[in-house]
Structure formats: structure tokens, C-alpha cells
């Protein structure tokens, strides 16, 4: 009997179609969820500084007529994004000072990061790169030559991280080209891909993609990004299972967000659901203090108490490390 697995039936055109149908207009978002029009001026004001982008598959996971829905809160623009909060800046994690070549950041020993794409399938309102100057980064393969030379010349780098934006926004052909060039550098032994697409646009996870990511000799790590258990819809769960069964180590990093996951019950459910899918909770990140995101910040003491409660409720492997990124530090800093 033919398989009805949506992953096996998915194709290149499916995820591009889903992307093309994503919601970009605040009015359409509010109308789709039956939300009051009174929210529109604030949503339009927020979208004026950082555009709205929500796939319809992600929209379907939200509770209609609930302006406090934790998934909606992650994507609905607010006038609070225009507040100039003390201590919040455009480059809160020091990306620009770590830029060694076009598209290449080098912050930590043994690993380097490529800004492989400048767009995402969803615009999370708390995004730490919402102000990043993506226009200056490589778009054509030939633009990557300086970064590839830097990587080839530095034998201390053993791990390459593809980030963005979202690297899985690249087509399979473009991704294959980039990975093929990286695979020619003999001291690169690990590939890490940071992507929110397996969560918000599961159509992107196809057998050709999995083969592409695992065909070289390096160990492949996929770091996905889910903040709330309701993000793990059935199609998302299938995508995560196939990534795991495809031979990758799959990790999740979440951000601690006010009104989204700042309670022990939500985080417990998220961590349990992830480990049941074979995905290890990796990091719970303290919010990066990026301009326009202060309304999401949770006090560090609250985060510490939540981690302590998770340790009481969950096995050790299911408890993420609570960390924050401090510019200039040589590693993520544990919050203890």
C-alpha cells in the first residue's frame, strides 16, 4: 500500500507554495483569527519597522479570538516595538564585531558561522537579528569566496554553523553548492544547521533535503527552534521524526519569552514533547536585548526558578541549559 506520510509526499514546490501563501498583512492576520480591528494600528506600526511574516500552517495552530495566544504573541507586531528601552540595542550580541569576512562570523573557538540566507519563513518579533544588515552579505556563490578562503586557512575551525535568516530558505540546489564547497575543506568535521523551518514550515523537510544534509563525511547537527508545545503540530512532529531517523542529531533551543513560555507547566510540556520525538532540549536562552523586544523580557530570577522546577520534574537530559549571550565572551554564559 502506498505511503501516506506527508514528508514522503512533500516536494520542492510544496514548501515554496506554502511560503508564497504566508500572511504578510496585519489586517489579514487579524481577520483570519477573528481579532478586533482595534489591534490594527499598533500592528501596522510595528510591522513598519520589522515586516510581518506568518505561514498559514503556523496560523492554524493559534487559538481564534485570543489576542494573548502564545503563538500569536510571537508574530503579532505591537506598538511596544517602537519603545526605546534602556539597555536594548540594534546589535545586542556583537555580530558586527565578530564579522571576519562577508557572511562569516567567528565568535567562539573551533567553530564559525555563515549567514547563509537573509530571510526567514516567519518573522519572530523577538528576533535577535531583526536589525541585521543582510543586504551586505553574500547572495551569489562567488560572493562566498572570501569566507571560504578564511575557513580553509584556519585549521582551528572544525565546525561550520549555517544560520541567517534561515539557511533552509535556500533552495536545495543553492544549499548543495555551498555544502559542496565547504566539504572540500578537510578540517571541517561537523555541520550545524540552525533553522526554524522544521517547526514553522514542515513542508521544507523532504527526503532530498535530508540526503543533502547528511551526504558528506561530517557529523550533522540540526538545531531547531520551538518555544511552546502548541508549535509541535502533527506535521511538525513528522518532520522532526524524519530528521532524527535520517541520521542527524536534533537539538532544540528556545527563548524565554514573557506571555509565551514563562511558566513551568508550558516548559515542562515542551521539553517532554521534544524528547519523546528524539529531540534534545539544548538551550533556554535569556532574551537578547535587541531594540524593539523589551516587552518580551523575563527577569533572570524567574528564569532560574523555572529551571529549578524543571529539574524537579524532568530527567536531566530533558532540562535545557539556561544561557545568555554576552558580547565578547568566548562562549554562551550559563545563568546560574
324 forms bridges with which residues in the sheet?
333
Compute the average pLDDT of residues 119-148.
96
Rounded Cα–Cα distance for residues 222 and 191 (Å)? 8
Are the beta carbons of 257 and 298 closer than 8 angstroms? yes
Contact between residue 322 and residue 334 where contact means Cβ atoms under 8 Å apart:
yes
Confidence at residue 195, expressed as pLDDT on a 0 to 100 scale: 98
Burial class (CB in 10 A: 0-12, 13-18, 19+), 44: middle
Contacts of 312 (CB under 8 A, 6+ apart): none
- Top-confidence residue, 6 or 107: 107
In whole angstroms, what is the distance from residue 267 CA to residue 229 CA?
8
Give the pLDDT confidence score for residue 267 in this predicted structure. 98
Measured distance CA(27)–CA(29) in Å, rounded: 5
Per-residue pLDDT of 222-275, as tens digits, reads 999 999 999 999 999 999 999 999 999 999 999 999 999 999 999 999 999 999
- Average pLDDT for the chain: 95
Please list the helix, strand and coil fractions of the chain in percent, rounded to the nearest 5, in that order: 45, 15, 45
Main-chain dihedrals φ then ψ at residue 286, nearest 5 degrees: -65, 140
> Which pLDDT score, from 0 to 100, does residue 310 have?
98
**Range of lowest pLDDT (8-17, 111-120, 152-161, 268-277):** 8-17
Among 324, 330, 329, 331, residue whose Cα is nearest residue 288:
324
In the predicted structure, residue 1 carries a pLDDT above the cut 50 = no
pLDDT at 12: 53
Superfamily assignment of 96-334 in CATH?
A: Aldolase class I (3.20.20.70)
Segments making up each domain of the chain, as ranges: 6-82, 96-334
> ∠ at Cα 215 (211, 219), nearest 5°?
110
Confidence of residue 3 (pLDDT cuts 50, 70, 90): very low
Amino acid at each position: 500500500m502506498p505511503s501516506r506520510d506527508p514528508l514522503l509526499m512533500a516536494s520542492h514546490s510544496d514548501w515554496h507554495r506554502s511560503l508564497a501563501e504566508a500572511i504578510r498583512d496585519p489586517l489579514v492576520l487579524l481577520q483570519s483569527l477573528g481579532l478586533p480591528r482595534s489591534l490594527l494600528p499598533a500592528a501596522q506600526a510595528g510591522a513598519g519597522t520589522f515586516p510581518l511574516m506568518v505561514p498559514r500552517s503556523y496560523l492554524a495552530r493559534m487559538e481564534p479570538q485570543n489576542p494573548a495566544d502564545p503563538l500569536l504573541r510571537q508574530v503579532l507586531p505591537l506598538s511596544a516595538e517602537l519603545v526605546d528601552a534602556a539597555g536594548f540595542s540594534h546589535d545586542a550580541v556583537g555580530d558586527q564585531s565578530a564579522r571576519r569576512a562577508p557572511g562569516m562570523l567567528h565568535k567562539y573557538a573551533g567553530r564559525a558561522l555563515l549567514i547563509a540566507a537573509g530571510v526567514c519563513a516567519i518573522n519572530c518579533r523577538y528576533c535577535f537579528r531583526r536589525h541585521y544588515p543582510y543586504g551586505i552579505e553574500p547572495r551569489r556563490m562567488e560572493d562566498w569566496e572570501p569566507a571560504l578562503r578564511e575557513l580553509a586557512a584556519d585549521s582551528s575551525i572544525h565546525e561550520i554553523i549555517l544560520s541567517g535568516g534561515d539557511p533552509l530558505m535556500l533552495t536545495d540546489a543553492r544549499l548543495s553548492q555551498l555544502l559542496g564547497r565547504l566539504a572540500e575543506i578537510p578540517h571541517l568535521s561537523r555541520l550545524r544547521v540552525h533553522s526554524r523551518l522544521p517547526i514553522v514550515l514542515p513542508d521544507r523537510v523532504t527526503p532530498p533535503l535530508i540526503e543533502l544534509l547528511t551526504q558528506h563525511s561530517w557529523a550533522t547537527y540540526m538545531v531547531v527552534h520551538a518555544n511552546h508545545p502548541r508549535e509541535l503540530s502533527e506535521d511538525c512532529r513528522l518532520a522532526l521524526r524524519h530528521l532524527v531517523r535520517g541520521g542527524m542529531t536534533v537539538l532544540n533551543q528556545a527563548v524565554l519569552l514573557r506571555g509565551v513560555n514563562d511558566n513551568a507547566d508550558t516548559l515542562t510540556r515542551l521539553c517532554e514533547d521534544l524528547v519523546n520525538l528524539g529531540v534534545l532540549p539544548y538551550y533556554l536562552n535569556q532574551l537578547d536585548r535587541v531594540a524593539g523586544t523589551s516587552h518580551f523580557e523575563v527577569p533572570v530570577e524567574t528564569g532560574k526558578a523555572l529551571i529549578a522546577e524543571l529539574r524537579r520534574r524532568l530527567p536531566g537530559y530533558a532540562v535545557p541549559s539556561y544561557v545568555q549571550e554576552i558580547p565578547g565572551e568566548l562562549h554562551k554564559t550559563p545563568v546560574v
